[in-house]
Amino acid sequence: MSAASNAPLRQLQKRVGYTFTDQSLLIAALTHRSAGKSNNERLEFLGDSLVNHVVAIDLYQQFPDATEGQLSRLRAKIVRGSHLAEIALRLDLGAALVLGTGERKSGGRNRHSILADALEALAAAILVDAGFEVAREVLAGWFGPSLETLSLTDERDPKTQLQEWLQGNGHPVPVYEVLAVTGEDHAQEFLVSCKVAPFTDVWEGRGGSRRQAEQDAAARVLEHIEHVRK
Amino acid sequence: MSAASNAPLRQLQKRVGYTFTDQSLLIAALTHRSAGKSNNERLEFLGDSLVNHVVAIDLYQQFPDATEGQLSRLRAKIVRGSHLAEIALRLDLGAALVLGTGERKSGGRNRHSILADALEALAAAILVDAGFEVAREVLAGWFGPSLETLSLTDERDPKTQLQEWLQGNGHPVPVYEVLAVTGEDHAQEFLVSCKVAPFTDVWEGRGGSRRQAEQDAAARVLEHIEHVRK
């Protein structure tokens, strides 16, 4: 099959915003592991870090007053699997996926984890084909609409979010404890711990006030929950 | 103080392998949060993703036969805090750090977490000052010697590593269970779960054989342990 003369792939590349010099990279990015040993898993590894970094640059520029914690939480919204799958659906990646028979029959084309992984692999394939700056520009097209909707003000605070998640899942409220207060008066730093019933780990948080440190700890627990559920 | 005429900072930039056009970015990267509100935390957020991505590119090229899981584990060795701190010590970043009085008196210059964070912030400062390709080249100088020592063959397998860690910390051995076997005969995929006594979470792993799937699950638990201890 000559990929270059394949009409559906040509149309896909139009939607994606990039036409490959090496069409085999495009095919590799679309090939799920169920289709065999030569698949998109290595590209997905590379693409995951590319997407994380490009979104970090965009957020760094877009929110000059955001703290590190706020930037992390904004990024988590953009790079979470369900959002990547949304973008993959918008680009209609599903139809072009190369799947094993089993995955094909069981609806793999619409599976969110497969779509999200393929989108990351596609990002890496563009990087390998054309370099960082081109990949960054193409990704700006994918993520731009979502980035525009972000705002620092509509972020519910992490302590509230964590408590809602715990109550929604039938767990008791978290227990915060101040471990240390350091620094001069004008730049005091609080270190707190946060224990959360469903987990055996204990999280720590820092901040210029007890409240800020607790918010920081709660944000870390939320990141863990997001990470584990991914 | 004119940073450009500051001899220690000039020497530091020689060791780092990059001279800043905007010296205020260098100062920002070296300023710990204990020194006040204008510090390196936002740069560290950006630098963390830059380092992860640049190392991913290098490993992707250096190990064309490595699986996604192997690439992840190799990267974890390079980007772990203790290794970043080693590089920061080699560059003698500690002497140039801007710290609050408390951190200065309690030995903050030698604290590994502060050094690792400053190294990430410095990477981002170079990115902001000169763009991705220049930053990538500078980072190649920092990480090159460590990347050269990596090899796929001397990697102890994840199941062995996990068992050793658990036994070393007085915990029972992990429990693996096959959850599903899917795919055609020539491309079967095993899905297994792994339960580990000190954690309430259950991890999953996939692979072309039961053993491979168990290795994959064990690798994910190891990543979690590394993440929590960071």
Distance from CA of A6 to the nearest CA of B (A): 27
The count of other CB atoms within 10 Å of the CB of residue A216 is 23
User: Of B149, B175, B198, which residue sits at a domain end?
Assistant: B149
Catalytic annotation, pick one of B120, B129, B214, B216: B120
Whether the Cβ atoms of residue B217 and residue B200 lie closer than 8 Å to each other = no
pLDDT at site B5 = 56
DSSP run (H or E) holding A44: helix A41-62
CA A88/CA B16 separation, integer angstroms = 40
> Do A194 and A123 have their domain in common?
no
pLDDT at site A1 = 47
> Do B48 and B136 have their domain in common?
yes
pLDDT at site B197 = 85
Q: Which of A1, A42, A24, A16 is nearest to A95 (CA)?
A: A16
The token pair at B49 is 């993703």
> Which whole number is the average pLDDT over A102-131?
96
> Do A71 and A23 have their domain in common?
yes
pLDDT at site A157 = 83
The token pair at B198 is 């000190």
Q: What is the CATH number of the domain that holds B39?
A: 1.10.1520.10
Interface of A with B in 24-43 (CB under 8 A): 33-37, 41-42
> Which whole number is the average pLDDT over A206-228?
86
pLDDT at site B121 = 98
User: Of B108, B129, B149, which residue sits at a domain end?
Assistant: B149
Q: Which of A144, A199, A38 is nearest to B187 (CA)?
A: A38
Q: Which of A78, A183, A161, A154 is nearest to A120 (CA)?
A: A78
Q: Which band of pLDDT confidence, cut at 50, 70 and 90, is reported for residue A228?
A: low
Q: Phi and psi dihedrals of B162, rounded to 5?
A: -65, -45
> Do A116 and A202 have their domain in common?
no
> Do A120 and A162 have their domain in common?
no
Give tens-digit pLDDT for A3-39.
455 889 999 999 999 999 999 999 999 999 999 888 9
> Do A136 and A96 have their domain in common?
yes
User: Of A105, A121, A149, which residue sits at a domain end?
Assistant: A149
- Divide the 230 residues of chain B into consecutive groups of 10 and give the mean pLDDT of each group: 71 97 97 92 98 98 93 93 96 95 92 96 98 98 96 80 86 92 81 90 89 91 73
Whether the Cβ atoms of residue A83 and residue A51 lie closer than 8 Å to each other = no
Q: What is the CATH number of the domain that holds A216?
A: 3.30.160.20
> Do B177 and B145 have their domain in common?
no
> Do B138 and B215 have their domain in common?
no
> Do A89 and A188 have their domain in common?
no
Residues of B within 8 A of A223 (CB-CB) are none
Residue ranges making up the domain that contains B181: 158-229
Q: Which band of pLDDT confidence, cut at 50, 70 and 90, is reported for residue A79?
A: very high
> Do B135 and B224 have their domain in common?
no
CA A46/CA B80 separation, integer angstroms = 18
Residues of A within 8 A of B182 (CB-CB) are 34, 102-103
> Which whole number is the average pLDDT over A63-86?
93
> Do B145 and B178 have their domain in common?
no
Residues of A within 8 A of B201 (CB-CB) are 199, 228
> Do A37 and A115 have their domain in common?
yes
Report the number of distinct structural domains present in chain A.
Answer: 2
Q: Which of A46, A57, A227 sits opposite B60 (nearest CB)?
A: A46
Instruction: Please tell me whether the interface predicted TM-score (ipTM) of this complex is above 0.90.
Output: no
Dihedral of CA B186/B153/B55/B228: which sign? positive
